[in-house]
Chain A
């Protein structure tokens, strides 16, 4: 335990992200402003120019270049950081794939915002969800303290498993809202997070060519050793991603021991243990759902929240176990895999397929383009699904919460 209490700051989610990068002693920052991420970039610029953070800030001319800078600096051995939202994330899309395939430990913040067209600067999770297949670890935060703590953990996770980590938090709802946040002390973060030890090399003394064309089939190197084809590289990437749950949990536990805050690892529960009906969501929406659950419990409904923290890798085994004894899971997605259903709902449904004990599942879409989602609407949603279940109705249709068409 600490003798001296760490400082409590009343800060926004963006400021929490920027402070976490500062405490993580990032060495190269490259970011392009986009609402609602801009104050991350601005805060970091201030830290660097005022000497609080000894890092190079590259004022790039686009998000695609921001991630280009991070990829290069990370390859050469520096700890890097960037952040973006929505169209900025989409602009760097090919780089997101490149970073993952390169197995670089890049940490990137995504202040979740709706994708255009049409234009919206407000919150939903379509941006990060649409990048879910690229091979990054994705963690969703429910409040500003979790943002601070998760970014610090993210550096350690990424540098251990060699998979980049996207830390997602709701734009405006968290990015711009002030909350009390305990800011860890630098020396405590240093003890938790050692300097980056790169696993790639760009050194004239040992010249290598990184990420050239890789053929479909394995190929012999000049020493006669059989080296991977493209598919084997991807197999290893998937393997690392699936195995990263161990590291994510371990890092979270170590952080909890040192800093006194445990965010639950892969998911967190609120009144989950004896829940008959579970509301599942990611980010601040899950936090809002706890208010709905309190109201439902007051009415005698054994409701609970399953807050999804790690979306990629999708923690199938853990989630299946967590929902097994419930009667119904109401999944509320703040995004949509157009042409199909909400991404979290779809993934959970697939995980439950073929299981002996599986609850009923009902998927909802909510909060697109910044449409406010109130706790009472979530409570109503639960009641709606339960009623339909009681009447023996199918729950296979995705319903939209508060769509006013």
Chain B
């Protein structure tokens, strides 16, 4: 099957999540949140959000108890470094599906 049906005359791309695939596969370590330490969870208020702000990938949700999209998280570890409460630790990536 050819590409004649693709009507593009020039290279014109459309946006999508996962342009490079499931970049979660890049990880050797994964972020794990300890909710008992997370400032926003403890106060039950939308505060801090440093992890959300500093994530280079934008895979952390700006919400109490942040939620990290492990399909795309590359495991850089910045969230763990910037968390003022040390609530995130980077643990070895086992390849298991649990989140």
**A contacts B directly (C-beta below 8 A):** yes
Chain A: residues with CB nearer than 8 A to chain B? 101-103, 162, 199-200, 207-212, 214, 218, 221-222, 225-229, 232-233, 236, 240
B11 interface hit (Cβ, 8 Å):
yes
Contact indicator A227/B9 (Cβ below 8 Å): no
Bound form: Cα–Cα A225–B9 in Å: 15
- How far, in Å, is B15 (CB) from chain A's closest CB? 6
Contact indicator A211/B15 (Cβ below 8 Å): no
Given contacts A226-B1, A226-B3, A227-B3, contact A236 B15 (CB under 8 A): no
B43 interface hit (Cβ, 8 Å):
no
Given contacts A222-B16, A226-B1, contact A211 B6 (CB under 8 A): no
- How far, in Å, is B1 (CB) from chain A's closest CB? 7
Chain B: residues with CB nearer than 8 A to chain A? 1-3, 5-6, 8-16
- Across the interface, which residues of A come within 8 angstroms of B13, CB to CB? 208-210, 212, 221
Bound form: Cα–Cα A31–B9 in Å: 27
- How far, in Å, is B96 (CB) from chain A's closest CB? 27
Bound form: Cα–Cα A225–B1 in Å: 11
Known: A210-B10, A222-B14. 9 other contacts (CB 8 A): A200-B10, A209-B14, A209-B15, A210-B13, A211-B11, A221-B16, A226-B1, A226-B3, A233-B10
- Across the interface, which residues of A come within 8 angstroms of B11, CB to CB? 210-212, 214, 228, 233
- Across the interface, which residues of A come within 8 angstroms of B16, CB to CB? 221-222
- How far, in Å, is A52 (CB) from chain B's closest CB? 33
Main secondary structure of the interface of B (DSSP, over half): loop
Contact indicator B12/A209 (Cβ below 8 Å): yes
Count A-B contacts at CB 8 Å.
57
- Across the interface, which residues of B come within 8 angstroms of A225, CB to CB? 5-6
Bound form: Cα–Cα A212–B13 in Å: 8
**CB-based nearest B residue for A214:** B11
Out of A209, A218, A226, A236, which one reaches B9, CB within 8 Å? A236
Out of B2, B5, B6, B9, which one reaches A103, CB within 8 Å? B9
- How far, in Å, is A194 (CB) from chain B's closest CB? 20
- Across the interface, which residues of A come within 8 angstroms of B6, CB to CB? 218, 221, 225-228, 232
- Across the interface, which residues of B come within 8 angstroms of A227, CB to CB? 3, 6, 8
Residue from A207, A210, A228 having most chain B Cβ neighbours under 10 A: A228
- Across the interface, which residues of B come within 8 angstroms of A222, CB to CB? 14, 16
Out of A102, A218, A221, A226, which one reaches B10, CB within 8 Å? A102
- How far, in Å, is A310 (CB) from chain B's closest CB? 21
Bound form: Cα–Cα A140–B75 in Å: 59
Bound form: Cα–Cα A334–B16 in Å: 52
- How far, in Å, is B62 (CB) from chain A's closest CB? 22
- Across the interface, which residues of A come within 8 angstroms of B2, CB to CB? 226, 232
Bound form: Cα–Cα A228–B10 in Å: 9
17 contacts between A and B (CB under 8 A): A162-B9, A200-B10, A200-B12, A208-B12, A209-B14, A209-B15, A211-B12, A218-B6, A221-B16, A225-B5, A226-B2, A226-B5, A227-B3, A227-B8, A232-B2, A232-B6, A233-B8
- How far, in Å, is B49 (CB) from chain A's closest CB? 26
Bound form: Cα–Cα A200–B14 in Å: 13
Contact indicator B3/A218 (Cβ below 8 Å): yes
Given contacts A207-B15, A208-B14, A209-B15, contact A199 B9 (CB under 8 A): yes
Which 4 A-B pairs rank lowest in CB-CB distance, beginning with the nearest?
A: A222-B16, A209-B13, A227-B6, A103-B9
Contact indicator B10/A211 (Cβ below 8 Å): yes
